[in-house]
Structure 1
Amino acid sequence: MNPRVSIVVPAYNNEDYIAETMRSILAQTYQDLEVVVSDHASTDRTVAELAPFADDPRVVLLSTEAGGGAKRNWDRVSRAASGELIKLVCGDDLLHPEAVARQVAALDAAGDGAVLVASRRDLVDGRGQVFLRGRGLNGLEGRVPGRDAVRAVVRSGTNPLGEPACVLLRRDALESAGWWDDTFPYYIDAGTYGRVLLQGDLVALPESLASFRVSAAQWSVRLAAEQYQQAAGFAARMRDLAPDAVGGGDVRIGNTRARVAAAQRRLAYLWLGRRMRAA
């Protein structure tokens, strides 16, 4: 029989962190799962770091040809999943031991009309040290109608549902959405959540169940500016897809908040750079 949950890992140049990520996944208290990993033509030792996990019967190791951006590998692992539920974990993020068990229980309690469950997460630096706890959701809690959740995401100007490690979703809803949507690459997660939530409801758990790793090398002032532009593009697209849920006022509010978030990110990137250089 197929496992209930597929944890899928699109790995790329994660040699420093992938083993820790895999250990956090395999330490889940929820047992009815498989782990599908695909390396996206890494140029470092990611493949070698993954090799010891091949002996675990829960683990399937694949490879993805170069090119195609994140979408190619995110789609590769998601399409290969056999579980009813999918959690995508990037190759440097971490799951808390109860993450899958808590999210599966929440989705089951909500019933068939719920398609996605999200939790808060902690932010950790390159050394794995927490520097911000309990981030995300922006007040969303419990069961939220999908269109209301989409509107809340647009109005936030950010991605309050968090990175994929914070989320568990139904595989059939992801497939119906056309898999991962990289129309706006920095919004590949939120853009996909939006299309999934037009099919059903959100369940929001106000507890931290994952850790998202950030580093000074991957964050920059230029990135903050690009994220603002793509946030605006995402908001406009959600209005086009769901005009009954997202209005022009929602888009304007979201764009204003996205500008503020971009300025805050610039300060955060400078602070994080100093923190990492001092380590």
Structure 2
Amino acid sequence: MTGTPKLSVVIPAYQQGRFLGETIRSVLQQKDAALELIVSDHSSTDDTLDIAERFRSDPRVRIMTTPAGGGAAANWAAVTRAARGEYIKLLPGDDTVTDGSLARQVALLDDNPDAVLVGGARRIVGATGKTIAPRRGLQGLSAHMSGEAAVRQSVLSGTNPFGEPGAVMMRRAALEAAGGWQGEWSYAIDLATYYAVLRHGDFVRDDAVAATFRVSAGQWSVALVEKQAREIRALFDLAAVTFDGITPADASRGAKKAQRMARLRRLIYTLMPGGRTR
């Protein structure tokens, strides 16, 4: 691909051969989006790399590998460093973007030069691809709001209203200014990164469903829910220190709500059809 692309879509993949082809096709079939697509295989032992290689002939596609070790954060960081676009979207190797979402989010950032992050709704699917929830996200977020106001709304809601990475697009310069993906956070790496990026500008809302997000029952074990709740509490406490408009009381209120909602999601995802791993 010649020239600098407007948008870099980066896919950090690991053991996702079953879904990766669908993920890549969801990007390459987009219309009116000048993009590069970078797929990074994190030393998978299944056919993840072979699936990626099938798309190498497309001039928009680059394939890279990262050595084993460092967890998901290492692959997220490596594939993001390879990006050249003004805007960046990280798309997990088992999720997809919806038709038209890339051009729509690029336009939102183009039209709002003070904005550094756009978030959209997402459709939740199970391990088999069956829809669990047709639309989630954007709780309490206005069409355009300051970064601090958006972070406070997230804290008060006890959740991640911006969306998983596939539903979010950021200015690459703001992500770099924030120090890149916040790899010190295990479960909240995406939300912690959004908070860091939103210190550098505003938030804009994409009202449409921008991506699908795949869940399985294994993601919602009791032990995991408790670990996630502790990390979210620590993140909310940090937000109260970082942003003048967020108080310790806000953080405490949000953390309690986050724990309640995590337990409820676990129950819903494991009981509804498509929520269990086969």
**TM-score for both structures, normalised by structure 1:** 0.95
1:184–1:233: 8 Å Cα contact kept in structure 2? no
Partner Cα distance (2:110, 2:43) in 1: 37
Matches within 5 A, 1:178-189: 178-189=179-190
The amino acid across from 1:60 in the alignment is: R
SS across alignment from 1:19:
helix
The amino acid across from 1:10 in the alignment is: P
Which residue is 1:104 aligned to?
Answer: 106
Which residue is 2:204 aligned to?
Answer: 203
Report Cα offsets for 1:35-94 as digits up to 9, x if no partner. Answer: 011000112111111111011110000001111111111111111000000000000001
Structure 2 spans left out of the alignment, 5+ residues: none
- For the pair 1:239 / 2:240, whether they are aligned, the reply is yes
- For the pair 1:65 / 2:67, whether they are aligned, the reply is yes
Which residue is 1:141 aligned to?
Answer: 142
Size of the alignment, in residue pairs? 276
- Measure how far apart 1:18 and its partner are: 0.3
1:224–1:265: 8 Å Cα contact kept in structure 2? no
Which residue is 1:226 aligned to?
Answer: 227
Partner Cα distance (1:52, 1:153) in 2: 39
Which residue is 1:130 aligned to?
Answer: 131
Which residue is 2:16 aligned to?
Answer: 14
Structure 1 spans left out of the alignment, 5+ residues: none
Partner Cα distance (2:274, 2:109) in 1: 41
- Measure how far apart 1:269 and its partner are: 4.1
- Measure how far apart 1:218 and its partner are: 3.2
CA RMSD of aligned residues (A): 1.5
SS across alignment from 2:8:
strand
Q: After the TM superposition, which segments of 4 or more aligned residues of structure 1 sit over 4 Å from their partners?
A: 272-275
SS across alignment from 2:80:
helix
Which residue is 1:257 aligned to?
Answer: 257
Partner Cα distance (1:198, 1:155) in 2: 17
- Measure how far apart 1:272 and its partner are: 4.6
- Measure how far apart 1:193 and its partner are: 0.2
Which residue is 1:172 aligned to?
Answer: 173
- For the pair 1:34 / 2:36, whether they are aligned, the reply is yes
Partner Cα distance (2:223, 2:274) in 1: 17
Which of 47, 58, 81 is equivalent to 2:49? 47
SS across alignment from 1:198:
helix
- Measure how far apart 1:265 and its partner are: 2.6
2:215–2:275: 8 Å Cα contact kept in structure 1? no
The amino acid across from 1:35 in the alignment is: L
**TM-score for both structures, normalised by structure 2:** 0.95
Which residue is 2:26 aligned to?
Answer: 24
The amino acid across from 1:182 in the alignment is: G
- For the pair 1:117 / 2:118, whether they are aligned, the reply is yes
